[in-house]
Amino acid sequence: MELIYVIDIIGTFAFAISGALVASDKKLDLFGVAIIAFVTAVGGGMLRDVLINAHPINWIGDLNYLYTIFAAVVFTFLFKSKIAHLSKTMFLFDTIGISVFTLLGLKKGLSFNLHPIIALIMGMISAVFGGVLRDVLTNKIPLIFEKEIYASACLAGGVTYLSLNYFNVSENIIFVLAASVIVIIRVIAVKFHLQLPKIKDDLFTKK
């Protein structure tokens, strides 16, 4: 599936830029920016591969990830002020990247004969953990834990993928449908500021 590989690389590029932007806002030097861009882009897949013992892990087995991240750092260095005006494009790339990362991680988990629930978690780790690492390394509470419906979108997309897998539908169609679920939920969530509930009060707290 060549197209998915291309989207995987685009997603890597988008994630690397998002890491580079956060790092440069924190006034890290060029090297720090490159490291944060790197962990944001490949951190999720790296953790997944270490956990399921899939060696060589993602960026060790395929140098194109490193080249893509390098290009993203140079791109950010040259065009930082311009990128600010492209926030919608960036958001789109990022969202497509998330959806592809989720489904590729899930597929990899299934190909390692993991239980579907574990494969689903591997998909989510692939999509989410890079951003968590970015935030931990720049000393923030991971964004994902606070505001974004991001992880829930990945979960919904992964469940869609697994469910459709039981029916006699072509792999490609399932992939596109499940990816669309992730993209649509995230776009709607951001547009309408949807959030998950918090555990502030419980059923028995008096108002």
Q: Which stretches of the chain bind a copy of itself, using CB under 8 A?
A: 20, 23-24, 26-33, 35-36, 46, 50-53, 55-57, 59-60, 63, 66, 76-82, 114-115, 117-118, 121, 132, 136-142, 144-147, 151-152, 195-205
The CB-of-153 to a copy of itself minimum distance in angstroms stands at: 10
Give the C-alpha separation, 46 to 197, whole Å: 30
Between CA 94 and CA 100 the distance in angstroms is 10
**In a 3-state reduction of DSSP, which class is residue 167?**
coil
Residue whose CB is less far from a copy of itself, 191 or 206: 206
Cα–Cα distances in Å, from 131 out to 20, 104, 190?
12, 17, 17
Report residue 102 as tokens.
Answer: 């989720």
- Which is nearer to a copy of itself, 41 or 174 (by Cβ)? 41
Shortest separation between residue 75's beta carbon and a copy of itself, angstroms: 10
Report, in Å, the least distance between residue 168 CB and a copy of itself. Answer: 27
Sign, CA torsion 51/52/54/59: negative
Q: Give min distance, CB of 172 to a copy of itself, in A.
A: 28
Smallest separation, CB 149 to a copy of itself (Å): 8
Nearer to a copy of itself, 14 or 120 (CB): 120
Closest CA to 14 of 94, 125, 86, 89: 94
Identify which of residues 33 and 174 has a Cβ nearer to a copy of itself in the complex. 33
Decide whether 167 or 192 has the Cβ nearer to a copy of itself.
Answer: 192
Phi, psi of 152 (to 5 degrees): -65, -35
**Could you tell me the smallest distance in angstroms from the CB atom of residue 156 to a copy of itself?**
12
> Whole-angstrom Cα distance, residue 174 to residue 163?
9
Query: Which candidate, 115, 118, 103, 113, places its Cα nearest to that of 178?
Result: 103
Cβ distance to a copy of itself smaller for residue 3 or 78: 78
